[in-house]
Structure 1
């Protein structure tokens, strides 16, 4: 896990390990994909999860739920989604529900993250 420069984010990451280790590991793996794809990303704790910014524009968020991790995309409605993996019917946002570590690969998280900016 890449240590965050933001103390609030680092505390959040450490606390979620105590709450649910499995979902925490999924969230951290997805976070690493985002940070490796966009190295200049800034992250903050907001809305009960982690949100990601590039050039002061929020483009994604990660949230822990009881049964899954949600990866949200601010402009998900613009994304290519040939397998119809994205969920949501809002005007702009779309999300992926990640239930297992295998979903990170099966739902092609990297493919969607690359489209997020």
Structure 2
């Protein structure tokens, strides 16, 4: 059995809805644009991103898309957009493409990478 490709997963997201597909695609484009080196893989039902170390992932649900930060609890959240109260993880829920900007996802991505590198 071969691993599911990122493109195949994105096509499957259309079954959840066009909004989830557009949001996940936009998040992926933002991460690809900002990080070098860049790697991605399909795992746990979403797309995990790495730049030297894995640092975040995007997962689609019926009502939203979640950008998950495995070491998000180590991020200082001065902007107040991180959700979750677990020991390590935090996430940002996105319901529209516009929320990528309004919830300032681009601000959190390098912080997530720094937190992941410190934990490695």
TM-score range, shorter chain: 0.7 to 0.9
- Aligned-pair Cα RMSD in Å: 1.7
* Greater shift in the superposed pair: 14-23 or 80-89: 14-23
Alignment of 1:55-94 (within 5 A): 55=52, 57-94=53-90
**What TM-score do you get using the length of structure 2 for normalisation?**
0.84
Residue 103 of structure 2 is matched in structure 1 by 107
Task: Give the total of aligned pairs.
Answer: 111
**What TM-score do you get using the length of structure 1 for normalisation?**
0.85
1:75-111 per-position Cα deviation (integer Å, ceiling 9, x unaligned): 1112231231101111111100001122111100100
Gaps of 5+ in 1: 1-5
Q: State whether residues 82 and 91 of structure 2, in contact with CA within 8 Å, keep that contact through their aligned partners in structure 1.
A: yes
Matched, 1:95 2:91: yes
Q: Following TM superposition, by how much is the alpha carbon of 1:115 offset from its aligned partner in structure 2, in angstroms?
A: 1.3
Q: Following TM superposition, by how much is the alpha carbon of 1:26 offset from its aligned partner in structure 2, in angstroms?
A: 0.7
Q: Secondary structure at the match of 1:28?
A: helix
Gaps of 5+ in 2: 114-120
Query: Runs of 4 or more off by more than 6 Å in structure 1?
Result: none
